[in-house]
């Protein structure tokens, strides 16, 4: 069966002109159907990079982006995602799902292999290991090398222009240290942690700024797209997402160490008790919160929340069956869908369940606790609707913080900051127009806001795709930019 041609796309990235399968005869083509909001799709990306690196002359990888939300049909957010994830292979914006439909794809990620004669070889649904895909590619290489139909000239690509060397690059999560009057920023695109005073002065930079993994002093440590942060006494905890590890930063000794994860993605449904946290394997740790001498971790890739108990150093599954969905049940029976932001207040963990477009809570009592949905209807029920909780809709919320009886939520793909009042049981917009932009003052605009932190009347906001931090003042409604004096990109000559 011949593979359908790659027609009907809106735009192409990382290539000077649209690619046609008929022009790729002699090459093994791997199509990766993915979505920029899908954490399980992110797991495939390093595997594809490794495959392309190993087979540069024989294999052509093409990412086919299929939108879930209308806003993802635009090329600009896709372009931002390509840069953020450092994708080097060609990516096609299948905005109207034409290619998706032609191949009969039902879910992402889905991998499609096409032989050098343009024949459809195999469709692989869900995450696949490097070994599985490499075996498939090697079999095709051997077969077509023998019959002389393999074109071994490398394909010339045109990577997207590098983003300006802004001081911050796609900052995602924040953490306030009220004792030290410091703001910790996960400068995810720069693979480092930035420490600034409330006055905007740079205090320190943790990490070299180069993607990698290394423990040690601040100037030697390495992270790979760090996200969640939590501080307790003299320790800063870091969710080192792409390294699949939890890191500990001793703020007095200025040393980084690893407390959980071995760098290998956990591909299996997790046991309730992992045992020693150092032996636990993680699945995209996204955000962190400290509560009751425990570290709660939103494990986005596993659709679960983990908890590290410091009294015995064991890692446990706190909530989530491991199945993706929106089902309210006792803690370990409930279905979650890519839990992202996480916070704590009065015996409950609150979290944004981004793929189900919801905000949910979980009582921390392991015997009687239940997961309850506060706002949200399901994986494909989303919108931008304020009002009573049972009628409100969000769109892929990623950040959350508590303040008394209120929750502040980064409604990411609505480009808004919203407030959930747990007493009046209503949702309202605090800031944002509903469209991506970059503005401060009385009518601020954001571009995919993410992490939040709060100090009294001030809400700190990671305005991720604008590469900056903003501060909203609840007392007067004003939003301003939080500039960090002395901070530069690690790509420039100095920090």
Domains of the chain: 11-147 (3.40.30.10), 171-482 (2.120.10.30)
The predicted structure's pLDDT at residue 494: 42
Span 194-203, mean pLDDT?
97
Question: Which residues make beta-bridge pairs with 402?
Answer: 407
Q: How confident is the model at residue 210 (pLDDT cuts 50, 70, 90)?
A: very high
Backbone φ and ψ of 322, nearest 5°: 100, -10
Within 13 Å of residue 6, how many CA atoms lie on the same side as its CB? 29
Task: Please say if the pLDDT value at position 495 is more than 50.
Answer: no
The region of weakest confidence among 66-80, 176-190, 267-281, 382-396 is: 267-281
- Residue 242 DSSP label: G
The predicted structure's pLDDT at residue 266: 84
Give the global pTM.
Answer: 0.93
Backbone φ and ψ of 22, nearest 5°: -65, -25
Tokens representing 58 are 């024989």
The CB density around residue 97, as the number of other CB atoms within 10 Å, is 14
Helix (H) or strand (E) holding 40: helix 39-54
Interval 131-185: pLDDT, tens: 999 999 999 999 999 999 898 888 877 777 666 689 999 999 999 999 999 999 9
């Amino acid at each position: 069966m011949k593979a359908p041609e790659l027609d009907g796309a809106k735009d192409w990235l990382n290539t000077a002109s649209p690619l046609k399968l008929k022009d790729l005869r002699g090459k093994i083509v791997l199509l990766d159907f993915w979505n920029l909001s899908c954490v399980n799709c992110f797991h495939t990306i390093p595997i594809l990079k490794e495959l392309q690196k190993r087979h540069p002359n024989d294999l052509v990888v093409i990412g086919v982006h299929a939108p879930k939300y209308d806003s993802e049909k635009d090329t600009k957010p896709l372009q931002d995602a390509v840069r953020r994830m450092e994708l080097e292979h060609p990516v096609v914006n299948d905005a109207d799902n034409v290619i998706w439909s032609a191949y009969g794809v039902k879910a992402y990620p889905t991998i499609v292999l096409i032989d050098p004669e343009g024949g459809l070889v195999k469709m692989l649904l869900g995450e696949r290991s490097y070994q599985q895909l490499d075996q498939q590619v090697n079999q095709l290489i051997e077969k077509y090398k023998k019959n002389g139909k393999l074109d071994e000239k490398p394909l010339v690509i045109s990577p997207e222009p590098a983003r300006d060397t802004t001081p911050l690059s796609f900052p995602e999560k924040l953490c306030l240290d009220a004792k030290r009057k410091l703001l910790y920023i996960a400068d995810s695109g720069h693979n480092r942690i930035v420490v600034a005073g409330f006055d905007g002065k740079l205090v320190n930079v943790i990490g070299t700024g180069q993607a990698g993994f290394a423990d040690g002093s601040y100037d030697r440590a390495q992270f790979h797209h760090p996200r969640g942060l939590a501080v307790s006494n003299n320790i800063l905890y870091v969710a080192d997402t792409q390294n699949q590890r939890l890191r500990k930063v001793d703020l007095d000794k200025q040393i980084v160490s690893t407390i959980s994860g071995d760098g290998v993605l956990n591909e299996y449904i997790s046991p309730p008790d992992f045992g020693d946290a150092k032996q636990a394997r993680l699945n995209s740790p996204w955000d962190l919160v400290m509560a009751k001498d425990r570290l709660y971790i939103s494990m986005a890739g596993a659709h679960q929340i983990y908890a590290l108990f410091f009294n015995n150093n064991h890692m446990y599954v706190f909530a989530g069956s491991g199945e993706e969905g929106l089902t309210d049940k006792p803690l370990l029976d409930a279905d979650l869908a890519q839990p992202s932001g996480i916070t704590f207040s009065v015996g409950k963990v609150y979290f944004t369940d981004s793929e189900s477009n919801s905000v949910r809570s979980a009582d921390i009592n392991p015997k009687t606790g239940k997961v309850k949905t506060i706002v949200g209807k399901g994986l494909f029920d989303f919108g931008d609707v304020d009002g009573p909780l049972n009628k409100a809709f969000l769109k892929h919320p990623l950040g959350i913080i508590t303040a008394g009886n209120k929750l502040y939520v980064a409604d990411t793909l609505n480009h808004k900051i919203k407030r959930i009042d747990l007493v009046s049981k209503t949702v309202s917009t605090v800031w944002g127009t509903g469209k991506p932009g970059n503005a401060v003052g009385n009518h601020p605009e954001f571009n995919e806001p993410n992490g939040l932190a709060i100090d009294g009347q001030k809400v700190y906001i990671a305005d991720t795709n604008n590469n900056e931090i903003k501060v909203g003042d609840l007392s007067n409604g004003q939003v301003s930019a939080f500039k960090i004096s002395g901070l530069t990109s690690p790509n420039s000559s100095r920090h």
